Structure 1
Amino acid sequence: MSLTCFTKSTRPFEGQKPGTSGLRKAVKVFQQENYTENFVQCILSAMGGSLTGCTLVVGGDGRFFGKEAVDIIIKMCHDGILSTPCVSCVIRKYKTAGGIVLTASHNPGGPNADFGIKFNISNGGPAPDGVTNAIYDLSKHIVEYRICPEVKCNISVIGKQEYVVDSRPFTVEVIDSVNDYVEYMKEIFDFGIIKDLIRGASGTPLKVLINAMHGGHHPDPNLTYAADLVKALKEGEYGFGAAFDGDGDRNMILGHKAFFVTPSDSVAVIADNTDYIPYFKKHGVKGLARSMPTGCAIDRVAEKKGMEVFEVPTGWKYFGNLMDADRLSICGEESFGTGSDHIREKDGIWAVLAWLSILAGRKMSVEQVLLSHWDTYGRNFFTRYDYENCESEPCNKMMAVLDAMGSDKSMAGKKLSYGDKTYTIAKIDNFEYRDPIDGTVAKNQGVRILMSDGSRVVFRLSGTGSSGATVRLYIESYESNSSTFTKNAQEVLKPLVEIALQLSKLTEFTGRTLPTVIT
């Protein structure tokens, strides 16, 4: 039986502008009549003529409203549960036109929490600004969408389901959600060595505890929201711990007694130990990169190894062009994202396997690896303060005041003190990035206050929340004196934190005396 598509009238919804990683709103927003259909139609329209006859990947992290959204997309595309790294892997393996990822990542899930839709392009990575801007422009003027309501697809059964839609063949293939990804990981890592490490083939077995987190809580892998993992590690039974977020792309690494590895240090350690990962021994390391707010530990590795290092805006899409041009192999974001050019997304599972490979190769504990790294490079102390769900207007005013400081010539050379610590401002600017591959420019990416000793303060408004505004304050200070390496980061950074709060008048603008989360 041939099925028929219908055109349905609709109206634009305000605010369908994709953020750093797609459109994230409360589930109840996506459940509005035509809301999800509108956004999906804008994604398909933005693809233009490339859609006809192509293959698209559809998958998500399994959160509430995911099945309903998959059903809508199948009915609209005429072309599950998939982690974000797996979606990227599948797009690249099968050379598809792209994929629609149903996830709000580290945002809470459930009927009273968040949902999200993100479009990944054919390289497997998040859509660049040009594409997301086109989607947003279409969303402001949409008046109709195309859908085939009669398509009934059972996404719980692996295999192909064939249809004829508007006299053309239309195939939906449900694939194993992990098989392709697992096979790829076996090409990248030596699973035998990792297995020997965990079993204790040449010594004491390594007890590992993994927390995959889930939508019933806030699935962000940090010290606050993964507190149960931290507590379990502190008891001393486990030598290695890791947490992921809802869709598996973010990760947190802990050692024995809950020894915390900052994301900035984590990516630097991986970059410094590529000899223990077969993928890099085979393909080499072409370059390193970090997001602008991320601590500069990886820069020091790049300098010693004579490699290119890139500083890009927050958002994994900015790494994609560099990878496609063979100028980047390993990268990371301070927001617990770590990855490489094996796919075009951050990959928490890959990061954990990389760490286990390093521990197996070096025959060291997590803490020993970090102490050895700091002895070689020094330590970039780093912390981030998040002020979540603030009122947007006063936050925008605060950012405007900070931005204006960059034009005030009297700020350069100004001394700022707290207690017995004094810093001298070298420069204040609003970070701007020009893509070295295609020349596109991203402006207003965060206000940086750069100190003469290399310390940094960065203020950003996050683009991953579903409501209100989230202010992120990043503080970094470099120390080369080994006597400081084991000190508590919050104690070392307290003077600079207090100076940043005073300079920004954050409490006056937001009404917040304490951050929601400290990492």
Structure 2
Amino acid sequence: MRVTCSPKDGQKPGTSGLRKKTKVFMSEGYLETFVQSIFDATGGAKGKTYVVGGDGRYFNERAAQVILKMAAANGARRVIVGQYALLSTPAASHLIRLNHADGGIILSASHNPGGLEADFGVKFNTANGGPAPEAMTEAIHARTKVIDEYFIADAADVNLSRIGTQEIGGMEISVIDPVADYAALMENLFDFDAIRAMFARGFRMRFDAMCAVTGPYAREILENRLGAAPGTVVNAEPLPDFGGMHPDPNPTWAHDLMERMFGPEAPDLGAASDGDGDRHMIVGRGIYVAPSDGFAVLAANAHLAPGYRDGLKGVARSMPTSAAVDRVAAALGIGCHETPTGWKFFGNLLDSGRATLCGEESFGAGSDHVREKDGLWAVLLWLNILAERTESVSEILNGHWRRFGRNYYSRHDYEALPSDVAEAVLATLRAKLPELPGQEIAGLTVAAADDFAYADPVDGSVSRGQGLRIVFTDGSRVVLRLSGTGTEGATIRLYLERHVAGPDGLSEEVQTALAPVLEAAETLAGIRSRTGRAGPDVIT
């Protein structure tokens, strides 16, 4: 069935697809015009195979039904969809690769809250399993501005509760167990026998799925296959509103886990994952593992897991992520790549064999097993490392700092700012950059200042305007950028970093250690004075 339509405002994908309020996606024709634009801008759907699924948030299953009918009307050959339209983002990436699909449509706003009054999102992943590159998202956006028709089958809804094969207008629909293939992949990467033996010796952990999509995956793998005690996985049932939680695994939103891990009855390991399963947080008994530190530890110890015993080809990190992993790469004699924020920038490095592990400061890490960051994968790698080293999280982290020094690091988020105010803050600082080198700011001397640009070493594409970067002569850094993951106003992310070589000064409180860098950042950018905020909304 052909339906005439008109362009909808604001359909430009961000770093992880298009995110809007749920009611916007539910409005007449909004989802349909964006999905049709995806098909049109990627060469049409005729004869193609897609993977579809999402994190179970409000409107997830209804949106999946619409996409299935549109794929059929556009001539797709087959769609693979998770039971109840559930798929974690890394599991969707794996299914695209495993089935040699032409792409996938993932329904998620990741770590954003869910519900009728909250957020929804749609993103397109390409045949390599990774997020669409910038050129493709620009083409999709261009199509949204001129679209005048979409196609949708006039058919009954698919029974997404029944695993098996169904059909719409000649298009095959395979409803699958969303966990099975992903769990099998994890068994190939990690030493499940060693981890199982560690649990049998009395090792205890707590995994907070935050009422999001990772719950079924974590319960199957941790409790059923690895023998963790029943109840190890909490908040394991995916709920449309995430049980009222903000499914972002950081110390602010995973506060219950933090309190338990710093309490008298703390287990050996605490972990959490986000709405769509691509982020993770790690907490040891009485010690929090910052994402940048965690990624560096994973890189330094990945060889302990069977899937990485041949060593790493290289590592890659987003520019705002701390340079902790750079020191590991230097010690291992492997390449270290610095990219803009957004997992799509890692795809070429992974596909070309230039990197094995990738990480970003916003609680994301992954490897070349898929083309997305993968929260549960990171937790399993930590478990494999703990099983092999028979040390605590605290002992491993402190040993890492003694060897490589410590990169004190923090991110301060100023959320839901008026867009013009946020843009003005960055524009004012951007104009100052050329004159900053050599200046002393709050006791720190500026060595270099730029607006980060990235030249992809594989395809030669250049991405400019990826964040303002000020580096001081002692190696400290200040980075500012606008986030592309929100649905309301604008978020300024301020990143602060300071390296201490050791052996002294490795146990200072993080915000105390970073106080001189924060003072320099405020002097340079005046975020608080210009926005009227007393401080950041979230500190991680």
String of CA shifts for 1:417-464, please: whole Å, max 9, x gaps.
2xxxx2100111000001000011111000001101111000010000
Alpha carbons 2:441, 2:523 under 8 Å: kept: no
**1:122-160 Cα deviation digits (max 9, x unpaired):** 000000001100000000111110111214311111000
- What's the counterpart of residue 269 of structure 2? 240
Q: Post-superposition shift, 1:486?
A: 1.2
Rounded to whole Å, the distance in 2 between the matches of 1:490 and 1:186 is 39
Determine the structure 1 residue equivalent to 2:307.
279
Structure 2 counterparts to residues 35-54 of structure 1, below 5 A: 35-49=30-44, 51-54=45-48
- Structure 1 residue 48 displacement after superposition: 0.7
What value does the CA root-mean-square deviation take over the aligned residues?
0.9
Query: Structure 2-normalised TM-score?
Result: 0.91
* 2:218 corresponds to 1:190: no
The answer to whether the Cα contact below 8 Å between 1:405 and 1:428 also exists between their aligned partners in 2 is no
Which 4+ stretches in 1 moved above 6 angstroms? none
Q: Distance in 1 between matches of 2:153 and 2:264?
A: 56
Match of residue 61 from structure 1: 55
| Distance in structure 1 (CA, Å) of the matches to 2:197 and 2:412 | 39
Which of 161, 169, 175 matches 1:156?
Answer: 161
Secondary structure of 1:150's match?
A: coil
Q: Is residue 236–residue 256 contact of structure 1 (8 Å, CA) maintained in 2?
A: no
The yes-or-no answer on 1:213 pairing with 2:210 is: yes
Give the letter aligned to residue 391 of structure 2.
M
Q: Per-residue deviation at 1:236?
A: 3.5
For 1:466, give the aligned amino acid.
Answer: T
In structure 2, which of residues 326, 330, 342 is the aligned counterpart of residue 303 of structure 1? 330
Structure 2 gaps of 5+ residues are 77-84, 212-241
Mapped partners of 2:332, 2:384: distance in 1: 21
Residue 266 of structure 1 aligns with which residue? Answer: 294
Output the CA distance in 2 between the equivalents of 1:149 and 1:130. Answer: 33
Mapped to 2, the partners of 1:197 and 1:227 lie a distance apart of 27
Superimposed CA distance per residue, residues 328-347 of structure 1 (whole angstroms, 9 cap, x where no aligned partner): 10110000001000000000
Q: Matched residues in 2 for 1:256 and 1:481: separation?
A: 23
Q: Residue 93 of structure 1 is aligned with which of 85, 94, 98? A: 98
Secondary structure of the structure 2 residue equivalent to 1:21: coil
Cα displacement string for residues 269-318 of structure 1 (whole angstroms, at most 9, x for unaligned residues): 11111221100115x31110100000000000111111000000000000
1:436 aligns with 2:457: yes
Q: What SS does the corresponding residue of 1:273 show, helix, strand or coil?
A: helix
Equivalent residue, structure 2, for 1:314: 341
Between the aligned partners of 1:196 and 1:477, the Cα distance in structure 2 is 39
Distance in 2, matches of 1:273 and 1:412, equals: 37
- Contact 2:446–2:471 under 8 Å retained in 1: yes
Task: Give CA-to-partner distance per residue, 1:384-430, whole Å, 9 cap, x none.
Answer: 0001100000111111111111222xx2111122xxxx210011100
> SS of the residue aligned with 1:107?
coil
1:460 aligns with 2:460: no
- Residue 206 of structure 1: how far off its partner (Å): 1.5
The SS at the match of 1:437 is coil
1:276-425 to structure 2, matched below 5 A, reads: 276-282=304-310, 284-408=311-435, 411-417=436-442, 422-425=443-446
Q: Does 1:506 align with 2:527?
A: yes
- Distance (Å, rounded) in 2 between the aligned partners of 1:63 and 1:154: 18
* SS of aligned partner of 2:86: coil
| Structure 2 counterpart of 1:71, from 65, 88, 110 | 65
Q: Secondary structure at the match of 2:43?
A: helix
SS in 1 for 2:409: strand
Compared CA separation, residues 12 and 241, structure 1 to 2 (3 A): same
Code of the residue aligned with 1:448 in structure 2: it is R
Partner SS for 1:483 = coil
- Give 2:91's aligned amino acid: C
**Does residue 1:255 correspond to 2:284, yes or no?**
yes
Per mean C-alpha deviation after superposition, the further-off stretch among 210-219 and 388-397 is: 210-219
CA distance in 2: counterparts of 1:481 and 1:272, whole angstroms:
18
* TM norm structure 1: 0.95
Once the two structures are superposed, residues 456-477 of structure 1 have per-residue CA deviations (whole angstroms, 9 ceiling, x without a partner) of 0000100000110000000000
- In the alignment, the residues of structure 2 paired with residue 306 and residue 67 of structure 1 have an alpha-carbon distance, to the nearest angstrom, of 47
Mapped partners of 2:379, 2:332: distance in 1: 23
What secondary structure is seen at the aligned counterpart in 2 of 1:220?
A: coil
Matched AA of 2:481: R
Deviation at 1:21, TM superposition (A): 0.2
CA contact 2:444–2:520 (8 Å) conserved in 1: no
Matches within 5 A, 1:86-235: 86-163=91-168, 165=169, 169-200=170-201, 205-214=202-211, 215=242, 216-235=244-263
Aligned to 1:3: none
Are 2:466 and 1:471 equivalent residues in the alignment? Answer: no
Distance in 2 (CA, whole Å) between partners of 1:399 and 1:373 is 35
